[in-house]
Structure 1
């Protein structure tokens, strides 16, 4: 990890990717479950906000290894959440395709 700013940019980028894919799915599918799409978007945005809060907490009293571990854990959680949201969207698209 280079710095907090880059980590925040990466988190924002991943959040935007999930939200934009959800909106594309919403625009192009007639029989969509808007509630599930809203849940996917909300879970992604809530995780983003939670991680930003954790990133912004001071680390001045932590050792270098503790800081590195903290930021690695934040990145890991973001990747897991992003993957989970994409899997939910994919399953939603598959179920919609089967119903049509």
Structure 2
């Protein structure tokens, strides 16, 4: 696994651990977050497993990687990750 550094904010949503990655998310290819999510799954899933699973994570961990907005009407872009995979949407990740 490549070495990488991530800046994270950990919290809890409804009793479940959540992790927001604010720095260190990889550059993703694609014209939409859906396309970028597929690029992440194909090329960067080691980041998800490293941050969501023990010893740094938890089996109930939800996470989000914050990206700059790629459309002018949006404030930010978010990639949702958790132990089960890379999700199109996550309630715990949104609230946390």
User: Normalising by the residue count of structure 2, what TM-score does the alignment of the two structures yield?
Assistant: 0.25
Larger radius of gyration: 1
Which structure is higher in strand share? 2
Which structure is higher in helix share? 1
User: Normalising by the residue count of structure 1, what TM-score does the alignment of the two structures yield?
Assistant: 0.25
